[in-house]
Amino acid sequence: MKKLIFAAVALLFSIGANAQIESPVKWSYAAKKVSSTEAVVFLRATIQDGWHIYSQNVKDGGPIKTSFTFTPSKEYSLIGQTSEPTPLTKYESSFSMNVSYFEKTVTFQQKIKLKSPGASVVKGTLEFETCNDHKCLPPEDVQFSIDLGK
């Protein structure tokens, strides 16, 4: 009986090990102070071959666009909108529209005004959807904390 239970448990663990969660996008962060009152934060997505994420400027009715929500702070304020490089654009029949997207890597940038000399970190959440030619994964929310350095 013990051998049967052990075999059943081992089988469950082996099935669980094979059911890995797909995670084709990795995020990294950096910041650069450009003056005593201004900095730029960089949010970089590294995307596995065959996958892509969408621009911040996707029209309604399309895929989930990449978006950034910065946590309000007394130490800094945002200057303008988060910028992105020029995306690729193509017609996607699954959405019946042209969509703009990024492959391999993309770096988004946000300028910030430093309101305090002690400003040390920028926090927030980003949301994105990743797809390949066969499927889209559910949208992900990722919290970030970017050290501004000294």
The whole-number pLDDT of residue 119 equals 85
Q: Are 55 and 100 in contact (CB under 8 A)?
A: yes
CA-CA distance, 58 to 103, in Å (whole number)? 15
The whole-number pLDDT of residue 12 equals 38
Q: What is the pLDDT tens value at each position of the chain, 150 positions in all?
A: 444 444 443 433 444 444 457 899 999 999 999 998 999 999 999 999 999 999 999 999 999 999 999 999 999 999 999 999 999 999 988 889 999 999 999 999 999 999 988 889 999 999 999 999 889 999 999 999 999 986
Closest among 59, 116, 60, 53 to 85, alpha carbons compared: 53
pTM of the predicted model as reported, rounded to 2 decimal places: 0.84
Q: Which CATH number fits domain 24-147: 2.40.50.140, 2.60.40.790, 2.60.40.1250, 1.25.40.10?
A: 2.60.40.1250
Q: What are the sequence ranges of the domains in the chain?
A: 24-147
- Scored b (16 or more CB within 10 A) or e, 63-73 reads bbbbebebeeb
The whole-number pLDDT of residue 118 equals 82
The whole-number pLDDT of residue 117 equals 82
The whole-number pLDDT of residue 150 equals 64
Rg (CA), the chain: 20
The whole-number pLDDT of residue 13 equals 42
